[in-house]
Chains A and B, each alone.
Chain A
């Protein structure tokens, strides 16, 4: 009917959004890509230097031990973070699924951590994990006396745990709600039937509930991996990437290369390595949430 008019409407409606999205994502991605093929050190010159092909990428993988350390650190942080957060979220979801006053109160309370800025969480954790006057540190060493003298931020593993606990505090509620959605869609009849047949709760959980939640869990794991790779704020405010480089993940390293060493070309290349990993994950994710039209 009103084909041309409709097309004009679509254009008017979409133009501003597409302009903003294009300007704020396509343009920087393109520019970063271009920068990653140039030698551009702001200390030497304010203008971009020569085109150097893949050299920034090659240098990262073959010539920079720091980059490999950062990859290892990133892998460790992401693994611990994803496993811990998803397990906590699953526990929360199972615990808070049922009705009841306490549970509904807790469902409300756990929204609060999600509203706190990760930068602020990082700085508070630094305070609370302080070995002299940190409240969390004291609580932990009451139960585990051998921890009393431990400096959390001097140990690579403990610093990673501290960082993960902060990230978990922020994100576990989000994923708990997502998994509750998944749990709600598991048909109760199958569980009932199994119970009548004499299956234990644990057995029902592992043989019926968990397999039926597999799609939601997969989406949650992919998303959490993405968010873990993007963690930045709490690293800056809690550990500063230390001790040494032991909590310097790719995102943090790219930032440091660009804004502390002012090596824009190299920083762009690192950022792009991260971008490519994230995009690869996002394609898997899209497969799951937007199956091709039937």
Chain B
């Protein structure tokens, strides 16, 4: 048998080394956060990797003092509320953009894409002033309205992509059978675009759940979500890392499951705004 040249083994070793580095770099921060969350407090400032895991940190964050349970609820209400409002609106708009011809269609669609480019500060500043005058600061209503701004363009774009892929004949058949617009949407489009709608819903849920800037400015105490609530562990006398890590787990792990659920579509959704 012919011996492979040394160069082959060097290249292979480099390749595997790089793959290992990518895996390590990707997973290390996550693994470290998980470990910190389960570490006993006295070991937080040591770099031990061997320890008896404890649930103390989780017990502490859910205690009355930190009330992280309430913040989980706030995050859920805000994210679900935003998604429940955004998705039906997006389905209708996506259908129109996919199937209908009308004036200003191109301009409207471009504007929807453009909104991703608006800096959050420029949006939240007027809303802060408006909600303060209306007495709506620190309410779900305020946060959900503003979060719709980030979520709706993604939802419309993603769902439109899936509706584009449905053959038009299906609808023509249904129209001949006498289905109206509502019937068409509900009985044909929604079932056939279900993977797209689900993808959009999950993607938007993740975006809202992780949203920070708007929540930082528009909430005070009553509806503070987890993403901002985690800052309350940073005290004058220092940061309580074990509690930050435990809360971090609560923020990140559910999103991992959601992202994995829509893995294949997630990648498409991620790049949707970027590629035709």
Name the CB-closest residue of A to B109: A290
B204: min CB distance to chain A, Å: 13
What is the interface of chain B mostly: helix, strand, loop, or mixed?
helix
Q: Shortest CB–CB separation between residue A139 and chain B, in angstroms? A: 8
Judging by beta carbons under 8 Å apart, are B146 and A169 in contact? no
Query: Which residues of A sit under 8 angstroms from B27, Cβ to Cβ?
Result: 109, 112
Closest partner residue, chain A, to B20 (CB atom): A102
CA distance A112 to B96 in the complex (A): 34
B230: contacting residue among A114, A119, A133, A135, CB under 8 A:
A119
Q: Are A24 and B148 in contact (CB under 8 A)?
A: yes
Does B25 have its Cβ within 8 Å of any Cβ on chain A? yes
Q: How many whole Å from A148's CB to the nearest CB in chain B? A: 14
Q: Closest CB of chain B to A276's CB: distance in Å?
A: 10
A226 at the interface (CB under 8 A from B): yes
Per-residue CB contact flags for chain B residues 138-169 toward chain A (1 = under 8 Å, else 0) read 00000001101100110010000000000000
A253-287 interface code vs B (CB 8 A; 1 in, 0 out): 01100110000100110011011001101100110
B73 CB–A CB distance under 8 Å: no
Select one of A20, A32, A117 contacting B126, CB under 8 A: A32
Establish whether residues B216 and A29, one from each chain, have CB atoms under 8 Å apart when the complex forms: no
Q: Please, which residues of chain A bring their CB within 8 A of the CB of B212?
A: 117-119, 232-233, 236-237
Cβ of B51 under 8 Å from chain A = no
Query: How far, in whole Å, are A254 and B213 apart by their CA atoms in the complex?
Result: 12
Q: Does A138 contact B (CB under 8 A)?
A: yes
What is the minimal beta-carbon distance from A212 to any residue of chain B, in angstroms?
A: 15
Tell me the A167-217 residues at the B interface (CB within 8 Å).
169, 173-174, 177-178, 181, 216
Bound-state CA distance A53–B173 (Å) is: 60
- A164 close to chain B: CB less than 8 A: no
Interface presence of A61 (CB below 8 A): no
Q: How far is the CA of A27 from the CA of B115 in the complex (A)?
A: 12
A116-B117 in contact (CB<8A)? no
B221 within 8 A of A: no
B188 at the interface (CB under 8 A from A): no
CA distance in complex: A14, B148 (Å)? 15
Q: A125 — which chain B residues lie within 8 A by C-beta?
A: 29
CB proximity of B107 to chain A, nearest CB, Å? 11
In chain B between 112 and 152, which residues have their CB closer than 8 angstroms to a CB of chain A?
112-130, 145-146, 148-149, 152
Given A25-B123, A237-B231, A254-B119, also A219-B113 (CB < 8 A): no
CA distance A128 to B33 in the complex (A): 9
Map CB proximity to B onto A217-242 as digits: 1 under 8 Å, 0 otherwise. 00110010010011011001100000
**A130 to B46 CA separation, bound complex (whole angstroms):** 12
- A120-B252 CB under 8 A given contacts A21-B152, A32-B126, A177-B267: yes
Contact A115 B256 (CB under 8 A): yes
Q: Within 8 Å CB of A236, what residues of B? A: 212, 216
How many interface residues does B have (CB within 8 Å)?
89
Report yes or no: B119 in contact with A274, Cβ–Cβ below 8 A.
yes
CA distance A23 to B270 in the complex (A): 25
> A219 CA to B273 CA in the complex, in Å?
11
Report the bound CA distance from A13 to B101 in whole Å: 12
* Across-interface contacts of B125 in A (CB, < 8 A): 28, 32, 35, 254, 258, 264, 267-268, 271
Please name all residues of chain A whose beta carbon is closer than 8 Å to the beta carbon of B45 when the two chains form the complex: 132-133
> Among the listed stretches A2-10, A63-71, A75-83, A153-161, which one makes contact with chain B, having 4 or more residues with CB under 8 Å of it?
A2-10
**B residues 242-272 in Cβ contact with A at 8 Å:** 244-245, 248, 251-252, 255-256, 258-260, 263, 266-267, 270-271
Q: Does B186 contact A (CB under 8 A)?
A: no
Contact A24 B230 (CB under 8 A): no
Closest 10 CB pairs of A and B: A117-B210, A24-B149, A17-B93, A31-B126, A13-B96, A115-B259, A119-B212, A282-B117, A233-B212, A271-B122
Apart from the given pairs A6-B100, A17-B93, 16 other A-B contacts in the complex at a CB distance below 8 Å: A7-B102, A14-B92, A17-B152, A28-B122, A31-B129, A35-B125, A111-B267, A112-B30, A133-B46, A135-B47, A169-B29, A219-B275, A267-B121, A271-B125, A279-B117, A286-B110
Write 22 A-B pairs (CB below 8 A) sorted by A numbering: A7-B102, A9-B96, A10-B96, A13-B181, A16-B89, A17-B92, A24-B152, A27-B126, A28-B124, A32-B122, A109-B23, A109-B27, A111-B267, A112-B27, A115-B206, A115-B255, A119-B227, A216-B275, A219-B275, A255-B217, A258-B121, A289-B274
Residues of B bordering A, CB below 8 Å: 15, 18-19, 22-23, 25-30, 32-33, 36, 44-47, 89-90, 92-93, 95-96, 100, 102, 108, 110-130, 145-146, 148-149, 152-153, 156, 181, 206, 209-213, 216-217, 227-228, 230-231, 234, 239, 241, 244-245, 248, 251-252, 255-256, 258-260, 263, 266-267, 270-271, 274-276
Q: Which residues of A contact B (CB under 8 A)?
A: 6-7, 9-10, 12-14, 16-18, 20-21, 23-25, 27-29, 31-32, 35, 91-92, 95-96, 102-103, 106, 108-121, 123-128, 132-133, 135-136, 138, 169, 173-174, 177-178, 181, 216, 219-220, 223, 226, 229-230, 232-233, 236-237, 251, 254-255, 258-259, 264, 267-268, 271-272, 274-275, 278-279, 281-282, 285-286, 289-290
